[in-house]
Chain A
Amino acid sequence: MKGANLGEFEELVLLTIAALVNDAYSVAVCDELEKHTGRATKLGVVHAVLNRLEEKGLVKSRLGDATSARGGKRKRYYEVTHAGKVGLTKAREARETLWNMIPGFNLEGSI
């Protein structure tokens, strides 16, 4: 099933949501991603991924409280579900396994 596999960007978004704990809403996710990956992240892309993750059942969302900021519009906060956590863990394990298979991995030169 396609839904069980995480795309690279999906994984990053999912991780960011988990990292932001209680403050994970679309704009914050965007900013955080930009900060850590150094890539310019468009809201349109993140929004679509969030929507897809929710459809796959990897995250769930709720609307926050209304404030006067943002023209009075509420934020939608995301939270990683159990399935999401399983997915992340699996992805990480797969990587670990692969890393462990590499005999000697030395960087030649600086990053």
Chain B
Amino acid sequence: MKQFSSETDPPEAERKDREPQPPKLAQQLLNWYCRPAIAEDLQGDLNEYFERNLKTKSVRRARLIYWLDVLKFFRLYTIRKPDFINLFIHWIMIGSYFKTSRRSLVRNKLFSFINIIGLAVSMSVGLLVIAIVTDLRSYDDFHEKKDRLYRVVTTYQPAGQSPMKMASTSVKIGNMMRKNVAGVEDVTVLRTGFSGDATVGETTLPLDAMWADASFFKVFNFPMLDGDPTTALKEPYSLVLTEKTAKKLFGDVNPVGKTVRFDTLQYKVTGLLKDVPKLSHIKFSALISFATADIKFGKGDPNFYNWNNIWQNYVYLVLPKNTNPQTLQANLDNLNRQENAKLEHVTMNVSLQPLKEIALGPKHSNQIGPTTEPLIAWVLIGLAFIIILSACFNYTNLSIARSLRRSREVGIRKVIGALKGHVLGQFMAESVMVALLALVFSFALFLVLRNQFTALDPHISDIFSLELAPELMLYFVTLAVIVGLLAGFFPALFFSRINAIQVIKDVSVLKVFKRVTMRKVLIVIQYTFSLIFIATTLIGYSQYRGFLTFDLGYNTENILNIKLQGNKGSLLAKELAQIPEIRGISKSLMITSLGSAHGTNIKYKDPNDSTMVWLNMVDEQYLPLHKHKLLAGSNFRLRPKQGEESEIIVNQQVLKRFNIAKQNPEKALGEIVTVDGKKLDIVGVLKDFHYGTMENKIEPVMFRYTAEPDFGYVNVGITSTDLPATMAKIEDAWQKIDKVHPLEAKFYDDQIEEAYSQFSVMIKIVGFVAFLAICIAFLGLLGMVVFTTETRLKEIGIRKVLGASEEGLIYLLSKGFLGLLLLAAIIALPATYLFFDQFVLTNFAYHQPIGLSELLMCVLIVMLPACLLIGWQTIKAARKNPANVLKSE
């Protein structure tokens, strides 16, 4: 072949080899941007200079100069004006495009179905993600001054520890901003944590509220229905209610001017607000004037106005128009230096955070409302993108595979006078049309999906409204158009390059199979992603089950935890003791292993060596009820009154931390540790158990005695065959104690499940994405298999006539596809395994090993249907009577 070409090639080509040519790409670029009228002679000029440069300079340098010149000539007078005539022709032809597209869609029902359903399903996910992201981005948009609104956030850093970002800050900084810092238009201070029983006439309701100062309504726009926003929060004991709260307390009567009683104090209702919009990061049901908090805490607690009291207060400020927040930050830095100098072992630095970065922005502790980190939004966008891309792959693959059928049409169009651009436009228009058609279906799917999504977790419906705003519709259509363009680009490019004369003469010259490699790559990518998603779901699920069934070191089965909500635990316990199905009752300050924690410093012999030890305050029933294992010693023996305790029970880690009695539990009994200034006897040593979640290692934990944890829990062990009846009895018992607050009781195992609910939500989402991805991949595979077997029917016929067996034919037809799937599995499974092993599971101190069974199961889930699908089609083809196939020519 090589010999042959060297003989026949014209001498020009030989000269080309000898003489260096100007860079081809640069020439193409010039031709692309340059007006045709001046392109030729300009290129000639550059060529002349190139030849000249060759004589004095190196080839590389001459090429570089050529490139630079081409770029330099990109000027207003050289560039080509857009071709309006072309657009005009497209406009005229759109009717014709529409007609042929419709015919082609109707003619190939299977392929149209695969394309439209695939795009619709994938786009519905895209729509959901768009709705979610739009919601997040439009948080707090209803505030008029939203672009000038900032929140003061605090970076809290104890010496020697890593800094912690807090959304909350001190009241002090708020007051300083108001008085001492110039260049601030308005400041408002909020404080969370008001909780009380509101009484109006006969009705008493628990009510949570926020303290807010008088400038609250100057900073934020919460529309007031009745009352004066400028004075509503000025006086002490003023109360502003939202419509919903007002309705609960007062019914349909206008509450403004009336009073609400909390305990013994009378609060005056000074304003009625519209309910807080869903997309507001600050949510409240009532506001109380900050002057009230000043009387309640400020006068009595010297710590209230301190710089380091940063736990419950939020400061928001408005900057004047056209102010750079950086200039204010300089002032804040000064304040930081000044105030931190007074603190020991800790620094607390304040800085500004724009309002619009609160709902969708970096994570802060003590958050006042929902926050989503941008990373999560990006992950969602990424997942949707992969799914949509997968559907686009199908479209591209099938369109090119089927190009034989449309190529004659393209040939005729070109002969009649269509330019490359016209054909390109036609096929792009077609794919956009298909995408818009798919949008109709996907919109219906989106409506279903939206409900499913909000039902995933009760929190989700609080965070997102997912309402169908006109703006959202615009985004949806834009997405469909982009998807159409993306899916249609390669096929359109392929069709536009068809050589008209050759195609009309003989379709078989079309090099459809030249692009087989690309299609194979696309299939492998599709299946790799599908496998990764499925493997992630399966591994994630088995890990999640592992967390729920993990042996925590004590018993959580059939234990009901009842929140005391300020009631006396002993009273409730007395009532509950009447119920025969209850086998045990204990009281505790908190519920372990759910992620929350209490801790105090304890000391052993060395007065300078103290460490934070996690704590639970329990009564004498707690340990037996939860079947905690004592290694040595016993349960609490004394029943001391509040503040007179002398006993403590610790776990092995405490012994290890202080090396008490060389970690021998028996010998550690009777040793004395100092907690909160009290000397406590170790009376029992517990076997290590899980106080935190699986993310934390087991750390030192102690149990202290309390008979009455006011804001704690009553733990009830239940042995019941009729649970609803027992629950009703418990409800009755609660009613006798507390008529205001509804019973809050949850089974321990359910609470553990809730503690890991974020994982279950994640698994559900990834599982759903996996399901979609695999469905789309199957659709694509089906299309490809049908197409391949169809085009090889004749070949199969001839093979059969020559004596090939059915099994042999099935093997022949399916081996290509199976090979691709196998390749995808070889890429995907180790990748997922490594991802979990190296990145995900390292976050958990305790987890189960990744099982081989999950990975194998994942291969089975993908391979089995794929094999069935391939087998079904190939058997169909292999069983065809060769006489029928070969006859029809």
Interface residues of A (CB under 8 A from B): 25-27, 43-44, 47-48, 51, 63, 69-71, 73-76
Contact = CB atoms under 8 A, between A and B. Distances in A.
Interface of B: 21-22, 38, 40-49, 51, 69, 72-73, 75, 77
Contact of A43 (B22, B45, B51): B45
Contacts of A75: 41, 44
Given A43-B45, A51-B38, A74-B44, 14 more contacts: A47-B45, A47-B73, A48-B75, A48-B77, A63-B41, A69-B51, A70-B51, A71-B47, A73-B40, A73-B43, A75-B41, A75-B44, A76-B38, A76-B41
Contact of B72 (A27, A44, A73, A76): A44
A23 B21 CA distance: 26
B178 to A, nearest CB: 61
Nearest to B41: A76
Contacts of B75: 48
6 contacts: A27-B49, A43-B45, A44-B72, A63-B40, A71-B22, A76-B38
Contacts of A76: 38, 41
Given A47-B42, A51-B38, A70 B73 contact: no
Contacts of B77: 48, 51
Contacts of A51: 38, 77
A63 B48 CA distance: 16
A44 B40 contact: no
- Name the prevailing secondary structure of the A interface residues: helix
Contacts of A73: 40-41, 43-44, 47
A16 B22 CA distance: 29
Contacts of A44: 69, 72-73
A73 B72 CA distance: 20
Nearest to B15: A68
Contacts of A63: 40-41
A43 B69 contact: yes
Given A70-B47, A70-B48, A71-B22, A26 B69 contact: no
Contacts of B44: 70-71, 73-75
B56 to A, nearest CB: 15
Given A26-B45, A27-B48, A74 B40 contact: yes
Nearest to B27: A71
A94 B349 CA distance: 75
A27 B44 CA distance: 10
Contacts of B42: 47
Nearest to B42: A47
A71 B46 CA distance: 10
Nearest to B73: A44
Contacts of B43: 71, 73
A76 B42 CA distance: 9
Contacts of B40: 63, 73-74
Q: Which of B22, B41, B51, B72 has the most CB of A within 10 A?
A: B41
A51 B38 CA distance: 10
B886 to A, nearest CB: 53
A58 B42 CA distance: 20
Contacts of A27: 45, 48-49
Contacts of A74: 40-41, 44
A75 B47 CA distance: 11
B54 to A, nearest CB: 12
Most chain A CB inside 10 Å of its own CB: which residue of B44, B49, B69? B44
Closest 3 CB pairs of A and B: A73-B44, A76-B41, A71-B47
A44 B72 CA distance: 8
A48 B48 CA distance: 18
Nearest to B44: A73
A69 B73 contact: no
A79 B749 CA distance: 96
A76 B38 CA distance: 9
A48 B38 CA distance: 12
Contacts of B51: 69-70
A26 B41 CA distance: 9
A25 B41 contact: yes
Contacts of A25: 41
Given A48-B75, A48-B77, A43 B49 contact: yes
Contacts of B46: 43
Nearest to A63: B41
Nearest to B52: A27
B40 to A, nearest CB: 5
Contacts of A48: 75, 77
Contacts of A47: 42, 45, 73
A44 to B, nearest CB: 5
A71 B49 CA distance: 11
A27 B48 CA distance: 8
Contacts of B47: 70-71, 73
A11 B69 CA distance: 25
A97 to B, nearest CB: 34
A44 B51 CA distance: 17
A61 B321 CA distance: 58
B623 to A, nearest CB: 90
A74 B41 CA distance: 6
Nearest to B46: A43
A75 B69 CA distance: 18
A12 to B, nearest CB: 19
A74 B42 CA distance: 9
Contacts of B41: 25-26, 63, 73-76
Nearest to A73: B44
A55 B43 CA distance: 20
Contacts of A71: 21-22, 43-44, 47
A25 B22 CA distance: 21
A69 B51 CA distance: 9
Contacts of A69: 48, 51
Nearest to B76: A48
A43 B73 CA distance: 10
B631 to A, nearest CB: 89
A71 B40 CA distance: 10
A100 B48 CA distance: 44
Nearest to A51: B77
A51 to B, nearest CB: 5
A43 to B, nearest CB: 6
**Residue among B40, B47, B75 with the highest chain A CB neighbour number at 10 A:** B40
Nearest to B77: A51
